[in-house]
Structure 1
Amino acid sequence: MLTMLVVDDEIYALKGITQGIDWSDLPIGTILEAEDVEEAKRRLREQPVDLVISDIEMPGANGLELLRHIRETSPNTLTIFLTGHARFEYAQEALQNGCFDYVLKPVDHDVLKEIARRGVAELIRRKEQAKFEDTLESYRRQWASQLPILVERFWQDVLAGRLSMSAERLNRELALFGIPLSADRQALPILLSIEHWEMELDARDESIMEYAVRKAAAEIVLGEQAIGAVLQDRSGLNLALVYSSAEANGGQSPDQSPGRSRPELLARCAEYVKACQEYFHCRVSCYVGESVPISRLAAALEKLSQLERANLSETRSVIDAPQKEAELAAAGTTAGAGAGPAMPSFTEWGLLLDRGEAGELAKELERTMARFQSEGATREHLEQFYFGYAHMLLQAASRRGLSIYDALAAQELAEGQTARSAAAMSAWALKLAVKLGAACADGSKETSAIIAKVHSYIQDHLHEDIGRDDIARCVYRNPAYLSRLFRKETGLSLTDYIAQVKIERAKKLLTDTNDKISNIAEGLGYLHFSYFAKLFRKTTGLTPQEYRKKHQTIS
């Protein structure tokens, strides 16, 4: 319930308001009285007051002084003034200084009560807004505390191929999580391979100790000068990502990070391997890759994983991946290769499929199968290729939100198992890639059509108070799903987009017409002019009047 204070030096006028008006249908629990400004100030000190109804013209200190006192000491209190015709300039000054409204004397009780009713509604709205802002601030703090987890999930999605690699989407996500990179910058992956625990640990304690090992990597490998992240991907691999500096992408070595040369990075990895043995009683090796664009991180990590799988002799080591790959190439072998041809990087192929580069995937297929033929691939090698390729297709479909069976028949998937030659396997693999690519493209077209229809609906209904449910009904989608889809595709919430479009229309009407500003607001579905003016100023930095004066092109 609210508290109201009535201030008037005329006792009959005072009692007429406090007792002559029936306030029972408004949420006012306490009504206080004061016969001058000093008594009113004392009342305000004694307890919180929500609504003040005060005469302006009183002996001694007047109502304007009381208003200034309220603004300084109780800014959330709402004030309504009573004024005579003779001193109307008082009312003007009061409104300029934050008074809610005024009533001319002699006071019409019905008019005063209606203004008070609006004042009460405004107080309730303000309280709800304050409560919402407190809630929002609470979640902001929670967001900040959860940010390291969110950053880890972002990189997990990147490495799992679950995130679009478009520059626009990447830049949006990087900015959202405060990651000091852009889509055209690079990161250097380091695989932290925990080879053996010298102490016996159960699953829970092993997870705890892996966390400790990652924390140590952040302190030793990254240190204070390097910028990056240490995380565990969705498959359980522990890794560090060293973010490249902007200068490194401007002509210096691509392996250079802020304050960190590659030799120093390798030395820090060696220090880290030693510290893990000494403090955590575990054997760790570091596989240090090259700096690559974010879109190639998944493939770069796959290469490091292949090196790890192929390493049967070096332990507690720092493996410089580019150097090791060069050594293996000189020896005529490939990391992870056994007898017969090496398998391709299905991770890289999946990325080609994600980007819609079917032509490049076809070339890779042709080269791989030509190599299989020249290197004498056996039936076992073709089966190994089949399972790797089928798994790649399954993951590609999942990243697009599709079931593999939405695009391919079960029989089509199984046909690859019966391929007896590299040529037959190539034909099967290409056919399925084309069909899956087409299914993914159709899904994208459907999404684009939905978003286009939403844009059109909003443009056609700018004169209304448009809601999310109205828009969802027009495209026959669940409102929550549509909100997520719209934000995913545009980077804006539906509410922000509608406000943005309406303000743009308002700017055009302000500059191109002489329509009353209140009419423009109503024509855009804003029932409360004050809300429109506040939103306009928040968006443009100017009030509607200031904007018109500055930009209007007609006389």
Structure 2
Amino acid sequence: MYRLLVVDDELFAIKGITQGIEWSDLQIESVMEAMDVDEAKQILGSERVDVLISDIEMPGENGLELLEWLQTHSPNTETIFLTGHANFSYAQRAIHLGSFDYVLKPVDHDQLKETVRKALELIREERELLDFHETYKMYYQQWTQQLPALVERFWQDVLAGRMPLSPQRLQASLDMYEIPLSLDGHILPVLISVEEWKEELSTRDEEIMEYALRKAAAEIILQEGPGAVIQDRGDYNLALIYLAPGESLDRTSIIARCKEYVQACNRYFYCSLSCYIGDEAQIGGLQQSLNRLLEMERSNLKLMNEVFLQQDVRGSADSMLPPPSFTDWLVLFEAGKKDELLTRIEEKLDSMQKEEVGQESLAAFFFGFMNMVYLFAHKKGLSVNEIFTAPEMMDMGAVTRSYHHLRTWATRVVNAAVETTGSKLKDVSAVIAKIQHYIQTHLNEELNREDLAALVYLNPAYVSRLFKKETGVSLSEYIQTVRMEQAKQLLAESNDKISSVAEAVGYSHFSHFAKLFKKITGITPQEYRKRFQEFVE
């Protein structure tokens, strides 16, 4: 809807225009009147006016002076002047000052209405154009804000092999995401490997710190040169330095930058990390270059807070050391001899590090140690979930990335197990202990609350409440936990059929056992047996 203002010092001239013309069919919602320029300025200062119809010659300030005032105070208002033949020079000046049009007096109402219609059409077009520019501006700002994420997604797709590497497709993507790299240019990848956080961090805090590490890498490693620092979906951080065709990078300079970055991260972000500098590669060879860097990282089991050039770290042949005596360790574990057990673990890992054993030996240690902890938990009537309280405690990849990580993990697990055992079992009464022992020795039988209560001559409801109060879990949860731990032991230590294992722990229906096992462990019984027996034997 539009608003119209008519200015003339003759009342009958104003009324003839405001009342003698039907304006509603032009979507004009308001028609206002002013007898001189001062009154017009008051209206224009407080109301939106889309079209101004004004006489040029008026006492005091005239229409041309009002037009000059409009250019500053209401520039979006379109002006149509009324003028006589004798003052045609005024009309020319009005057009020069930006007036939309002029109409000669005496006014022809049809001609004036048509002129106003054209002015409104121009206003509508200008508004649509303005809306378009505002919309474009808004989306362009959003695009600009999202551009770093889009660039990161592009490189993720390239590294994962999801991006077609045809020249046309790559060039279109480089142009779209404003990546300053040509098809015959090269990229120097720098893998940033976070080896250890020196403080306990929640998942959210760790994500925030990883973001800070990437920002610092952009500032210190890239400096002001072209490139990007991304986090791949494999959760590693990668700095990509863009090189123009024929450009060579001073390796001494990039090594110095990476060393400065490592020191800064040690100081400000409380973490240990290393940088692995790869070989220059074009876009098509970037994935292969990165794979070599990841292999370097996997092969580095000892050194931390270092900067490596490709091939600096080489995987050594995996020495065949005798495995730890997990049976002897379990005896110490059950006897509560924590300090002696930790000493044995330290000695074994020192020996493995001295012999420079590789990833396979570290993985074998991990699975053998896990199996020992499962046996310990089973014999203590505990759930391993009470010991492995954090998901990363069961992540073999994170645990076996270095001797340091494996040593820290093993110590943490032993301490958690001893602490959990003490807190869970110190207050268990003789009644509950008897029930627990009965459950552990009769897993292949039907176990229900009524029979267990009869065993200790107590009311079933009271036994349920007492058991939950003293152990922290319900009877049914405890029975399920013990059965699953026993099943894991049988799967790891025997070659019995899985259906026989299910029956041995009280599950007559194999399918129910398999579904429950996978729900609790995340893997099938077959996968569990293969994984543990493969590494423990």
Give the TM interval when normalised to the shorter protein. Answer: 0.5 to 0.7
Counterpart amino acid of residue 14 in structure 1: I
Tell me the secondary structure at the aligned position of residue 24 of structure 2: coil
Match of 2:189 in 1: 189
Match of 1:410 in 2: none
How far is 1:320 from its partner? 0.4
Match of 2:75 in 1: 75
Counterpart amino acid of residue 126 in structure 1: E
How far is 1:273 from its partner? 3.0
Match of 1:107 in 2: 107
Which residue of 260, 277, 285 maps to 1:296? 285
Q: Which runs of structure 2 are paired with 1:97-496 in the superposition (5 Å)?
A: 97-167=97-167, 169-222=169-222, 224-244=223-243, 246=244, 249-250=245-246, 254=248, 256=249, 261-321=250-310
How far is 1:302 from its partner? 2.0
Match of 2:35 in 1: 35
Deviation string, structure 1 residues 187-208 (Cα, Å, up to 9, x no partner): 2101112233444444434333
Contact 2:220 2:261 in 1 (8 A): yes
Q: Write the distance in 2 (CA, Å) between the matches of 1:38 and 1:174.
A: 59
Contact 2:192 2:239 in 1 (8 A): yes
Contact 1:290 1:322 in 2 (8 A): no
Which structure has the larger Rg over C-alpha atoms? 2
Alignment identity in percent?
54
Are the structure 2 counterparts of residues 61 and 169 from structure 1 closer, same or farther at C-alpha, using a change threshold of 3 Å? farther
Q: Which runs of structure 2 are paired with 1:540-551 in the superposition (5 Å)?
A: none
Contact 2:187 2:242 in 1 (8 A): yes
How far is 1:265 from its partner? 1.4
Q: Write the distance in 2 (CA, Å) between the matches of 1:219 and 1:72.
A: 46
Q: Write the distance in 1 (CA, Å) between the matches of 2:213 and 2:60.
A: 75
Are the structure 2 counterparts of residues 150 and 39 from structure 1 closer, same or farther at C-alpha, using a change threshold of 3 Å? same
Tell me the secondary structure at the aligned position of residue 102 of structure 2: strand
Counterpart amino acid of residue 253 in structure 2: E
Any gaps of 5 or more consecutive residues in structure 1? 329-335, 339-555
Are the structure 2 counterparts of residues 201 and 62 from structure 1 closer, same or farther at C-alpha, using a change threshold of 3 Å? closer
TM-score, normalised with respect to structure 1: 0.51
Any gaps of 5 or more consecutive residues in structure 2? 317-357, 361-537
Q: Write the distance in 2 (CA, Å) between the matches of 1:125 and 1:225.
A: 44
Are the structure 2 counterparts of residues 45 and 208 from structure 1 closer, same or farther at C-alpha, using a change threshold of 3 Å? closer
How far is 1:13 from its partner? 1.3
Deviation string, structure 1 residues 13-43 (Cα, Å, up to 9, x no partner): 1110012222233433332223344443343
Q: Write the distance in 2 (CA, Å) between the matches of 1:151 and 1:300.
A: 19
Counterpart amino acid of residue 235 in structure 2: G
Deviation string, structure 1 residues 341-393 (Cα, Å, up to 9, x no partner): xxxxxxxxxxxxxxxxxxxxxxxxxxxxxxxxxxxxxxxxxxxxxxxxxxxxx
Are the structure 2 counterparts of residues 43 and 196 from structure 1 closer, same or farther at C-alpha, using a change threshold of 3 Å? closer
Are the structure 2 counterparts of residues 10 and 200 from structure 1 closer, same or farther at C-alpha, using a change threshold of 3 Å? closer
Counterpart amino acid of residue 67 in structure 2: L
Q: Does 1:23 align with 2:12?
A: no
Deviation string, structure 1 residues 380-415 (Cα, Å, up to 9, x no partner): xxxxxxxxxxxxxxxxxxxxxxxxxxxxxxxxxxxx
Q: Write the distance in 2 (CA, Å) between the matches of 1:228 and 1:119.
A: 52
Q: Write the distance in 2 (CA, Å) between the matches of 1:2 and 1:213.
A: 56
Counterpart amino acid of residue 316 in structure 1: N
Match of 2:327 in 1: none
Tell me the secondary structure at the aligned position of residue 211 of structure 2: helix
Q: Write the distance in 2 (CA, Å) between the matches of 1:86 and 1:112.
A: 19
How far is 1:3 from its partner? 2.7
Are the structure 2 counterparts of residues 278 and 58 from structure 1 closer, same or farther at C-alpha, using a change threshold of 3 Å? closer
Contact 2:296 2:311 in 1 (8 A): no
Tell me the secondary structure at the aligned position of residue 292 of structure 1: coil
Are the structure 2 counterparts of residues 299 and 67 from structure 1 closer, same or farther at C-alpha, using a change threshold of 3 Å? same
Contact 1:167 1:184 in 2 (8 A): no
Match of 1:401 in 2: none
How far is 1:105 from its partner? 2.6
Contact 1:3 1:28 in 2 (8 A): yes
Match of 1:2 in 2: 2
Tell me the secondary structure at the aligned position of residue 65 of structure 1: helix
Tell me the secondary structure at the aligned position of residue 294 of structure 2: helix
Counterpart amino acid of residue 44 in structure 1: L
